[in-house]
Amino acid sequence: MTPKEKIAQLTQVLKQHNHSYYVLATPTISDYEFDQLLKELEALEQAHPDLRHPDSPTLRVGGAVTKDFPSFTHLRPMMSLGNSYSKEDLQDFDESVGKLTGDQPFSYILEHKFDGVSLSLHYENGLLVRGVTRGDGVQGDEITENAKTIRTVPLRLRGDNFPAQLEIRGEVVIFKSDFDEMNAKREEEGEALYKNPRNTAAGTLKNQDSAIVASRRLTFFAYEVLTDRPIAKTDAEHFELLQQWGFRLSGHASVQPDIDAVFTYLDEWEIKRHDLDYEIDGIVVKVNELPLRDEMGTTAKAPRWAIAYKYKAADAITRLESIDFQVGRTGKITPVANLSPVLLAGTTVKRASIHNEDEIQRLGLYEGDYVQVEKGGEIIPKITAVVLDKRDPFAQPVQFIQNCPACETALSRPEGEVNYFCPNINGCPPQIKGRIEHFVHRKAMDIDGLGTEIVNQLVDEGLIRNYADLYDLQYEQVVALERFAEQSANKLIEGMQKSKEMPFEKVLFGLGIRYVGATVAKKLARHLKHIDALMEAELEMLKNIPDIGGRIAQSVVDFFAESANREVINRLKAAGLQMAVEEKEAQSDQLSGKSFVISGVFAHYGRTELKNLIESLGGEIKSSLSSKTSYLLAGENAGPSKLSKAEKHEIPILSEDDFSAMIV
């Protein structure tokens, strides 16, 4: 098979698998198999760039960096919809539709009002040529490269029954489960958490690095078809065409004969919406018959044939019973409200986070207050206000605690922090357990058989006080514990022995140094190579490591300044854990201290291959250029903005041959 034929075959196979996974939600091969096929296609395209298809699945991974997003005037304005919060408003809307349509029969089509970000996609002869944000409704930003990374955006339409010029509008969302996973990863790495799925989706769409956009798991739901000539008589037929062309739909659009049936649908989804994995804040009600829509027309701001019914925010009033103060693994104290149980968004809510002392003061909380509780972003219950006319006149203000609820140590609030901390790092039980749990986590030492309950049991029984104690555990001690048998005890001991093979960066992450997440641990390991060098590193030296700011550097210095921490690390060394970067992790220091930005297509290397090679030689990969970048490695079709910026900052530009000569 010729390269041209193989590229065509892989392109078609991967497009079909992609459609099955992301649009139909019925995967036909494993992720590993898909990745292997994609790598094979990438290698062929890099060797034969002229043979790459314009709708190649490799475009999904991103990589292009856009300095500015050009404005694009919409061919037709992206109008807002009139909003309704009551059935009386909908009744008025129904009467208005009846007057405008006269005696002509009509029906309604209902669909979810996604709480996401609008996106317009332009197709020419079935090929995606442009992606545009809503902007002000008249013009938006062209974000085509970012749109191409969204797996549910067809790069080429399926079938052949589509007009030459076509515009598809829809909404970009982040699923709740994906959002939770993203935040869990950020929390693990000491990063600030994203506020809610909608804001995160909006920010992601305008990110200048399309590779970052590709990593964020955006989903596009199509809901509107715009053409120069009619291709259907009803909106329901448009939905059928969208499905045929390869778009993902919510699957919940419904045609209803009259306003009474509309009300039934609205009531049904007011309850069911909380079971969805994406957020909706209402239902869009539209006249289904397209010729009637043309007759009805629009106002200056909105179509006369559609209205959005908005559900009220999921809130309730309940009593504040008490406040618990929880201690995290870093010693951070988090106040949590205990509430009288109340039904909210389909679930019974008994607790809500209050974040910190400043939030208690802002709300003006008193003991026993009646409070308004909302599900922030439909996910996390939070107290939004106090019902003052229900307050007991003898109630006292809520006071933030002065001592740790677990060990009674006096709390401290570091300068510039909004949180209080318990400084009793090595004697506070929740901190001890939390650090051990972090150490054994699958992204750190990955010790099989050690979950939260087992860690608690080992600490409570006095068998361990820190993660170094894990490696002193004997089979006889474990098998004697409740819930343990011979097999489970052996599994735990074997898991700890196997963890000694984990690379240095995993060990470093597992130590639980504040602000040192998995990514920072990898950078520190790569630059300092050995735990001894890290333990002796001074503040200024750490701050000079790329992407290691003052806050992280100070935290590292403070951690190793504690004699108890040094003692634990010496015990981990003696136990045989990996405390240095192995040769296979860094082949040499040839590129140590040098940073690279990669742009374009290369004849002998794939982009991933280049990144791995540079890192293995001690170099660092950057996603964007700055005055501190050492080199721009530019292949064919390198980004003009990158080339211009490199010249402006006098950054050396390397060709593929230059780079090959550099590493000989």
DSSP codes of every residue in 408-469: -PBPB--TT-SS-B---TTT-HHHHHHHHHHHHSTTTT--TT--HHHHHHHHHTTS-SSGGG
> Distance (Å, rounded) from C-alpha 366 to C-alpha 391?
8
pLDDT computed for residue 485 by the predictor: 86
Q: Has 584 been annotated as catalytic?
A: no
DSSP codes of every residue in 355-420: -SHHHHHHHT-BTT-EEEEEEETTTEEEEEEE-GGG--TT--B----SB-TTT-PBPB--TT-SS-
pLDDT computed for residue 274 by the predictor: 79
Single-letter code of the amino acid located at 72? F
Neighbours of 201 (CB within 10 A): 24
Output the CATH code of domain 429-499.
1.10.150.20
Contact between 241 and 225 under an 8 Å Cβ cutoff? The reply is yes
pLDDT computed for residue 188 by the predictor: 63
Domain with CATH 3.30.470.30 in the chain: 83-310
Strands 306-310 and 83-84: parallel
Mark out the alpha helices in 189-258 (DSSP H runs): 197-205, 210-215, 235-245
Output the CATH code of domain 83-310.
3.30.470.30
pLDDT tens string 77-90? 888 888 888 889 99
> Distance (Å, rounded) from C-alpha 209 to C-alpha 202?
14
SS3 560: helix
What phi and psi values does residue 71 have, to the nearest 5 degrees? Answer: -80, 150
Contact between 268 and 256 under an 8 Å Cβ cutoff? The reply is no
Domain with CATH 3.40.50.10190 in the chain: 595-662
> Distance (Å, rounded) from C-alpha 227 to C-alpha 604?
44
SS3 490: helix
Domain with CATH 1.10.287.610 in the chain: 3-61
Residue for token pair 């291709």: 231
Which one from 4, 6, 113, 375 is the annotated catalytic residue? 113
Q: What does the buried/exposed string (b/e) look like for 570-605 if buried means 16 or more CB atoms within 10 Å of the residue's CB?
A: ebbbeeebbbbbeeebbeeeebeeebbbbbbbbeeb
Query: Which segments of the chain have a pLDDT < 50?
Result: 378, 585-586
Residue for token pair 């570091």: 414
The residues pairing with 381 across neighbouring beta strands, listed in sequence order, are: 375
Closest Cα partner for 378 from 272, 270, 250, 274?
Answer: 274
Strands 370-376 and 380-386: antiparallel
CATH classification of 315-390 is 1.25.40.10, yes or no? no
What phi and psi values does residue 455 have, to the nearest 5 degrees? Answer: -60, -45
The residues pairing with 371 across neighbouring beta strands, listed in sequence order, are: 318, 386
Q: What does the buried/exposed string (b/e) look like for 538-563 if buried means 16 or more CB atoms within 10 Å of the residue's CB?
A: eeeebeebeebeeebbebbbebbeee
Contact between 342 and 381 under an 8 Å Cβ cutoff? The reply is no
Closest Cα partner for 239 from 335, 110, 354?
Answer: 110
What phi and psi values does residue 311 have, to the nearest 5 degrees? Answer: -75, 145
CATH class of the domain at 504-575: mainly alpha
Q: Which two tokens stand for residue 450?
A: 């050690």
Contact between 75 and 169 under an 8 Å Cβ cutoff? The reply is no
Closest Cα partner for 553 from 562, 545, 563, 561?
Answer: 545
pLDDT computed for residue 449 by the predictor: 76
Residue for token pair 């794939």: 606
Output the CATH code of domain 3-61.
1.10.287.610
DSSP 20: I
CATH topology of domain 595-662: Rossmann fold (3.40.50)
Residue for token pair 């019974």: 348
Measured between its terminal Cα atoms, the distance across the chain in Å is 34
Strands 127-133 and 117-124: antiparallel
Neighbours of 131 (CB within 10 A): 24
> Distance (Å, rounded) from C-alpha 520 to C-alpha 526?
10
pLDDT computed for residue 180 by the predictor: 82
Domain with CATH 2.40.50.140 in the chain: 315-390
SS3 664: coil
What phi and psi values does residue 539 have, to the nearest 5 degrees? Answer: -55, -50
DSSP codes of every residue in 128-163: EEEEEE-TTSSEEEB-HHHHHT-TTS-SB-SSS-S-
